[in-house]
Amino acid sequence: MSKLVKWKDYSKIYEDANSDSGIDDVAAKKIQKCQIMLLTKAGFFGQLCMNLKFIEDRNLRFKTMATDGMNIYYDPGFVNGHTDEEIRWVICHEILHCSLHHFLRKQANPSIWNMAADYEINQLIDPKNYSGNPTYQMALGTMPSGALGGAGDKDKGFVSGLYKGKAAEQIYQILIENNTEVPPEEGWNYGGIQPPVMVSAPPGSGGGGGNDEDYGEKAKVGDYVTLPGGGYGKIESIDPTTGDADITQVSEPDLKTMIESKTGKTVKKIS
């Protein structure tokens, strides 16, 4: 059995790896600490967050956090400006955007859809709902000020309990029918959804990529992408303002057939 690395040794390795990377070490270590808390005290979120890569990004549209279904991007100033409890909550928020496939379910109005998705998510991770399990409640953290569905939210639908137990599509319809005005998103939008990470498109497919070295770059129109939870899709368009992608789902057998027809080679497995 291989020797386990002690925490102090692991921390030293971690610090050495990031010392010359230009990454904000304080923010990165706070993210790491939050991951460990979720893994040990809230296993559902902990296991999921360990399967997502956390990447510092100072160019996010909203200086908070965002996800593409495979990675969680964070602004270091946002992370450093909030408590550990608030960052844990936002991480859980991002995880649910991924697990509920919000970027695939999106509706015509992206801002209203983001509101609806946040109302769906935030009622699921409202800490007060877990008063019977103090350890889990503590692990989920604290909803930051300004979050939709939190203290001080004056939205009529929320105050009346109209959104309770409803899916994002149902909440979206209510918001549209009531001509809801979108509040400034910088204060509540913790889940900006980025274009998903692409898989290599076969030569001649018309995709923006196609070379093995392109794997992991931001997807472009025509690229084939891996979807959260498994499966594949083809990007038909990307909104230049919001980054939302229109994706047509593609089955693995169909994708294999298409690659084989383009390359003339037999495909055993898509990685």
Give tens-digit pLDDT for 11-50.
554 455 455 568 899 999 999 999 999 999 999 999 998 8
3 state DSSP class of 225? strand
**What pLDDT shows up at residue 237?**
78
DSSP 252: H
Beta strands in 44-105 (DSSP E): 53-56, 65-67, 71-74
Rounded CA gap, 188 and 113, in Å? 13
**Which of 64, 97, 60 has the alpha carbon at shortest distance from 79?**
64
Q: Write 215-221 long-range contacts (CB < 8 A, 24+).
A: 218/194, 219/195, 219/245, 220/195
Residues 76 and 27: beta-carbon distance below 8 Å: yes
Q: How far apart are CA 118 and CA 62, in angstroms?
A: 15
Low-confidence ranges of the chain (pLDDT < 50): 1-3, 5, 10, 13-14, 17, 197-217
Cβ pair 248, 236 in contact under 8 A: yes
- The domain segmentation of the chain, as residue ranges, is 1-193, 195-263
Quote the DSSP letter at residue 126: -
